[in-house]
Structure formats: C-alpha cells, structure tokens
Amino acid sequence: MEVMLSILVGAVMILVHNLWKRWSVALEDMKLPPGPRKLPIIGNLHQLNKGGELIHVALAKLAQEHGKMMTIWFGGGQPSIVVSHHEVAWEVLVSKAADYSSRTLPYMSKFTSADWQTLATSNLGPFWQTLRKGLQTTTLNPHTISAQVQLQEKDITSMILSFKEEACLNDGIVEPLIPLRRTTVQLIGRFCFGPEFKNNEFVKEMDSVIEDTIRLTGVGRLIDIFEFIRYIPCLNLPFKEAYKVKQRIEGLIRPYIDHHKSTKSPCHSCYLHFLLSQDDFGEGVIIFNLFELFLLSVDSTSNATAWALAFLIHDEKIQQKVYEEVREIGHREIVTIEEVSKLKYVNAVVKETIRMKPIAPLAVPHQAVRDSKLMGTKVKKGTPVLVNLYAMHYDPSVWVEPSRFMPERFLVGHPNNDNGSGGGGGGEDHMGAMERSLIPFGAGRRICAGMEVAKLQVALTVANLVNSFQWSSVVEGQLPDLTEDLTFILRMKTPLAARIVPRH
C-alpha cells in the first residue's frame, strides 16, 4: 500500500513538474508585455470597472502606469495586448498589417454576420478582397455618390422640417437622435437598394433592429469572457433573442432581394446588385453584408452628429463661429454637399468631436495570424490586439489640453497651435503624430471604406442644423450631460435633448 502511495505521489509530482515546466516555457516564449497583476478566473476584470469607469478609460489609466503596450487578461483565459500609443498602433494597423489582420469578435455577432462572412468580420483573403472591391467600385465610387447628392439634400430639408414640427409640439424642445438615425437609414437604403428606395416602415424597423443588435453585442462580450454561460439553459436567453433578431433582419431584406431578381430593370450601381452578381455568395452572405452597411453607418454618423451638437450647446462661442462661417458662403436655406469642403471650421468641429468621442474607442479587435513581433516583443499567433483610440486621442504629448473641446487645433496658423500643429511641440514631426493618433476609422488595409462619406454626412448635417436653428439647453443653466455609455459604440448615456429656435 505504501509503495503504491509512493508511486502515486511521485507520478503526481512528476506530472505537476512537467506541467509547470511547459507553462513556464510557454510564458517565457510569449514574453508578454508588462501589465497589471491578474487574479485567477477573472484576470484583470476587477481593475476595468473601478468607480463605474468605462473600459477604454480604465485601460488608458492603466497604460499610464504600465506603458504604451501592455498585457490585459479579460478573464482567466488568453491574454490580450492593449496598445495605447500611435507608434505601436501604426505597427499593428499599417507596417505589420498582414500579421495582425485577423479578427477576434463576440460569439454573439455570428448570428448577424452569416457566421462572420461579412466585410468587417471576415479575415483578409480573396473573399474579403472581393467584398471590399465591390463596395468601393459600385456603391462608394464617385459617380454613385454624386448621384445621391440631390437626394441627400432633400433628406436634410425633410429633417429640418421634422425638427420644426417636433419643436412646435414640444415647446421648442427636440430629441435629435431618432431623426438623425432614420435619415441615415434612408441614405444607406439608397446605397444598398438603389436611388428609388423609400420605405418609412423599413426605416423604422431597421432602426429598431440595429438597436437590438448593438445591445446584444454588448451582452455577448460577457459571454465571451465566461464561455460556460453558453451551456447553461437558464442563462442562454440572449442567444435565443439573437436568433430572433437574425430572423427579423432576414425578413426585412429578403423582399428587396426578391424584387431585384424579378424586376426587368434593376439598379446596377447598388450594393445589392454587386452581391447578387457573385455566384458563390449564398443568401445569408448577401443579407448580412447589406445589414452590416446599415449597422456600421447608422449609429456612427448619427451619434457623432449628436455629440457635435452637444458640444456646440456647451460652448455658444463655437456654435456662433460655425453659424458665421456658414453664413459667409451666402446661403439662407440649405448648405449643399459641394459647399461643405469650404467650411474649414465646421470640418474642424467634426474632427474634434470624433477625437473626443471616438465612436468605437477600442476599435474592432485584431488578432495575430502568425507568430510576430510588436515593438520588438514576441507576439504569439492567435493573440488578440486591441488599439485604444481613446488613449491616443487624449495623449497630452500630442494634444494640447486634450480634455478641452477646441476645434481650432485643426486650423493651421491658429494661435492655440504650435506652428499649426494643433498639439504640443510643433513642427512636421508633431503634425505627423497628430495624423497617426487621430484614426477613428482605423488605418491601413482595414480602414473604413465609407470613412469619407461618413465625415461628409456629419459635416453636412451639423452645418445645416446650426444654419437653421440656434441650439441651447432645455433648461437654462443645465448643460447637456456628456457622460458616456459604451455598448457596441460610444453613445451619450442620456440621449441629447435640446431647445431650438429657428434662425430664419
């Protein structure tokens, strides 16, 4: 008996020794960047919600202590590398883009992406290249965009009228986010289905299903950290709800596919036509690539516009400068798309808005597709890499008074700038640091294909809304709450409400 016990104890000790040796070798091989000490099971989760801080803010503070590239454990599983400086981010996104081109996505997102077969969710390769090229050459080419101009301007006119009507019914008070969202759904609908698209019921339902998708994606992050939740029947309700959302999306878009196939003169410049022309694309791939265009466009542009309006209410002088610049181009009614490029201050306001409130402050997570290096440190294949745009946008070595809303930092020659750089230090090197630090739409191969359209839409909307109305607080002296809420994107925790007065 004693002999058997000795053999058993010895075997266990050898096993433990071998496991420890393998684990030590693995950690040595990984040579992880520094980071805060983790706890069993939860990793660093206890440090990412101190005092109710949002994760991008908590990570930015941890980076001040642990460096521009640090290791964070979301739960007890695989470590992630969090990047908080433009030099490292540029290596991930541009100079070594091929090494970090894969995605690590919430499991929940597979329901609304045809099992990750969309432009934003698929890995780089022939399939991704086909989608990207098709979107750029058909939907986002200059001819298609120019064909939208008059319709976009009509959308703006209709939105202004809806604000006037809402204000008349509510003692001058409006809640701009819903009209902003639905105007964007209308715009993307024309890109997807053709210039004749107009369906108010579709617009309302698409707006609703986007909202549900964003909410479920936020829930999905928790499930990814604690994977066992998937297998507990009483806790898997979000999956059932995600499946219902999937069915709603299919029911919304499938009639447009059927109509396009049956019509004698379909639109050849819309995204749907391109997707249908690909023989190897199944219906799911077509439906959810169309949906993705709505998902990634509607909330980003509408929330960026709402944030801009909130900042303009906070600073009446900046709002007045916007109005005066718009008036200088000589229009009393609608600012046209052609005129937006002339509005330097308006475009600076948009840039400053997306600097201070990046729609996706942690960007879309990347993943190493092979063993690589990052700033000389070994990175194992499969390691998730997160780029904290928020930390980069608030880097005091790049931005003067980073917590202050100051559009002038983007205007060359303004006295708040050093040699027109907009940040501390001045000179061409610093201007380059600004450009590499301000990447709210990503950079490199996976930069957002619709970036220019999105920025144009926000600038056009801000210019027209300030030209048409004076914006102020609902209650005098109580400025809009700028507290953030992060689910899939960065939103205002309290949706913006404002008092408007027609200017003419």
Annotated binding site for heme: 448
Q: Are 181 and 491 in contact (CB under 8 A)?
A: no
DSSP string for 247-289: HHHHHHHHHHHHHHHH-SS--SSSHHHHHHT-TT--HHHHHHH
How many other CB atoms are there within 10 angstroms of residue 378's CB atom?
15
Structure tokens at 293: 């265009």
> In Å, what is the CA distance from 465 to each residue of 157, 170, 335?
10, 18, 10
Spatial CB neighbours of 290, under 8 Å, sequence gap ≥ 6: 192, 253, 271, 272, 275
**Distance of alpha carbon 68 from alpha carbon 180, whole angstroms:** 36
> In Å, what is the CA distance from 95 to each residue of 101, 264, 373, 422?
11, 47, 12, 25
In three-state secondary structure terms, 399 is: coil
> How distant is the alpha carbon of residue 174 from its chain centre?
26
- What's phi and psi for 472, nearest 5 deg? -150, 175
> Cα Rg for the chain, rounded, in angstroms?
25
DSSP string for 127-168: HHHHHHHHIIIIISSHHHHHHTHHHHHHHHHHHHHHHHHHHH
Spatial CB neighbours of 498, under 8 Å, sequence gap ≥ 6: 173, 174, 176, 309, 313, 471, 472, 473, 474, 480
**Distance of alpha carbon 132 from alpha carbon 101, whole angstroms:** 14
What are residue 366's DSSP bridge partners?
103, 385
**Distance of alpha carbon 355 from alpha carbon 451, whole angstroms:** 14
Residue positions forming the annotated binding site: 448
**Distance of alpha carbon 450 from alpha carbon 293, whole angstroms:** 9
**Distance of alpha carbon 138 from alpha carbon 223, whole angstroms:** 37
Q: Provide the CB-side half-sphere exposure for 448 (13 A, CA).
A: 20
Sign of the Cα torsion 489, 128, 436, 464 reads negative
Which segments of 141-236 does DSSP mark as H helices, in order?
Answer: 142-147, 149-169, 177-193, 200-225
What are residue 373's DSSP bridge partners?
378
